[in-house]
Amino acid sequence: MHKSYFYDLKLEQVSSSIEKKALIPIDKLSERLKDVRAVLGMTQTQLAKRLKVRQSVVSRIEKNLETCSLKTIEKVVRALGCRLMCSIVADVSLKEQIKARAAIVAKNILSRTYSNMAMEKQDPGQKAYDDQLVKIINDLLSKPGAELWEDEE
């Protein structure tokens, strides 16, 4: 009775996650593949037969998925009657990354300029610095390109 309850619960969880196309971190993919295989009631040997490989290969794939190619992972997923769908998720929005990088580059440009001016005993003041910083940032943002990523710290 307990086994059936836990199986039903696991089946519901895995099915629901797959039907919702829920994103999973890459380091959890191996666990997900094992869960799918388990709820299907398929052994490693049976999966290996579908993939035309030895059971030990399936075992290695399930243990070390991060060393597998996407093509291999897709074959395993297909053999489980599923599709592999990938997504790239930004930690910070791409726009925010560009803005932050433009600010860093602008500050680097100004620090070089202002250090030269300091050696020549010319100090335009904080307001001039702030105004120039905003102008350089806006210039960089108007046409962001490779210059944002040169000399990355």
Q: What pLDDT digit, counting tens, does each position of 3-12 carry?
A: 687 888 888 8
Residue with more model confidence, 73 or 120: 73
pLDDT tens profile 66-79: 889 999 999 999 99
Give the pLDDT score at 97.
95
- Is 85 part of any domain? no
Nearest of 7, 8, 11, 78 to residue 47 by alpha carbon: 78
Q: What is the pLDDT of residue 21?
A: 86
Mean pLDDT of 90-114: 91
- How many structural domains compose the chain? 2
Residue 112's pLDDT band, with cuts at 50, 70 and 90, is: confident
Residue 84 lies in a domain: no
Do both 67 and 109 map to the same domain?
A: no
141 lies in which domain range? 94-149
- Asked if 106 and 75 sit in the same domain, the reply is no
